Structures are given as C-alpha cells and as structure tokens.
Amino acid sequence: MPPAPLPQLLDELAELLGQMCTTVANALYRATAALLDNRERLAQQVIIGDVAVDALRARVEGIATDALLFHAPVAGDLRTVVSAIRSAGDIERMGDLALHVAQVVERGRRLPPEVCGDFAEMGRLAVQLGRKAAEVARTRNVVMAVGLESDDDAMDVLHEHMFGVLMDDAWPHGVPTAVDVTLLARYYERFADHAVAVARETVYAVTGQTPEALAL
C-alpha cells in the first residue's frame, strides 16, 4: 500500500493528538470524581483505561515516522511532525498523572473535607486545560493556544493556596494525609503544565515562534 499523502497524514496527527488530549482530560475528570466521592470502582476504570492513551501515542509516532520517511517534509510541515512527537510525550504523561490520582483513591486514601473544594477546583481547571489543549491540537488555533497560559496561572495560585493550608499550624490531619495532599496537588499542577506545553508546541509548529516572541 502506498503511503498516504502528507496533508492527510498531518490531518491524522492533529486528529489523534486531539483525541489523546480528550481521553486524558476525561480520565482526569473521572479520577477527580473518584477522589472527591471515594469511588474506588471508578478509580479502577481510570487505571485500566490508561493503556488506550499509550496505544494512541504509538499511533501518533507511527504516522509521524511515515510522514518523515515517505515525504521528507520541510518548514511548517516538518515543525508539525516534530511537535506532534513531542506533544504525544506530554499527553501520555498527562494520562500517567490522571492514573496516579486514581491510584491514590484505589489505595483507599480519603481527602480531608477542608481541601475537597480546592481539589474540585484544581480538577475543574486541569480538565478544562486538557480539553482546550484538545481543541488547540485539532484546530491549530494559535490565539486559543496562547490563552492556555493564563488558565495555568490560576492553577498555580490554587496550588500555592493548597500549600498554605498544609503549612498552617492548625492542620489537624497528620503527616500521612499531608503527604497524599502534597502529591495529589502536584499531579494536578503537572497535568496543567503539560497541557500548556502541548499548546506551546502547536504555536511553534504553526508559527515557528514561541508564544512570548509572538506577544499575542
């Protein structure tokens, strides 16, 4: 079978990256619901579902390799292929982080009530960033891509606030719970960071510039 034409391969890459982002955003949505409501069965579904993300990454890399091998793309097309390889790595990691949240639930750990609101909000922001990254990957909308950075600033504020709660002398839940909360907060923050990285990759692929250089 002859290889597909380059524009078709590039479209497939955009579609698959979008699908990967949607998949990991849904995984984090469910992992967060499992965390807030202590639903261990739901957490197990998230854990089982992570193989789908790894399979999508393998497909992205296969198509990217075909594009390089059969079409020797140049300029923006080459940037698109290289950035697809890098983005797939970021999105796979987002899936791992959703999995880590689910694993905390699976181990039977509970969130103390006073941080549930913060985690609900971190979950909402991170899932929203994942879904926006999906849209950016599919549509290659540079203006939308640049917008992800300010959503990520909101995540950083929440993350700092969470550490303030933990560091307070009045924290009544002991060290083991503090360790869980510390790691969980980090998983959400890193998920958001990778979503922003996917958007930055798209900006670079489309324009050959970083978001800062564009000053959009």
Give me the residues that bind a copy of itself (CB under 8 A), please: 61, 64-65, 68-69, 72, 74, 78, 82, 85-86, 89, 163, 166-167, 171, 174-176, 178-179, 182-183, 186
Decide whether 82 or 214 has the Cβ nearer to a copy of itself. 82
The least CB distance from residue 179 to a copy of itself, in Å, is 5
The least CB distance from residue 168 to a copy of itself, in Å, is 8
Q: What one-character-per-residue DSSP string does 31-87 give?
A: HHHHHHHT-HHHHHHHHHHHHHHHHHHHHHHHHHHHHHHHH---HHHHHHHHHHHHH
The least CB distance from residue 12 to a copy of itself, in Å, is 17
Decide whether 175 or 215 has the Cβ nearer to a copy of itself. 175
User: Distance between CA 35 and CA 109 in Å, rounded?
Assistant: 9
Chain centre to alpha carbon of residue 3: 31
User: Distance between CA 6 and CA 73 in Å, rounded?
Assistant: 8
Q: Alpha-carbon torsion 90, 95, 100, 105, what sign? A: positive
The least CB distance from residue 169 to a copy of itself, in Å, is 9
User: Distance between CA 184 and CA 105 in Å, rounded?
Assistant: 10
The least CB distance from residue 45 to a copy of itself, in Å, is 25
Chain centre to alpha carbon of residue 122: 13
Decide whether 8 or 210 has the Cβ nearer to a copy of itself. 210
Decide whether 29 or 188 has the Cβ nearer to a copy of itself. 188
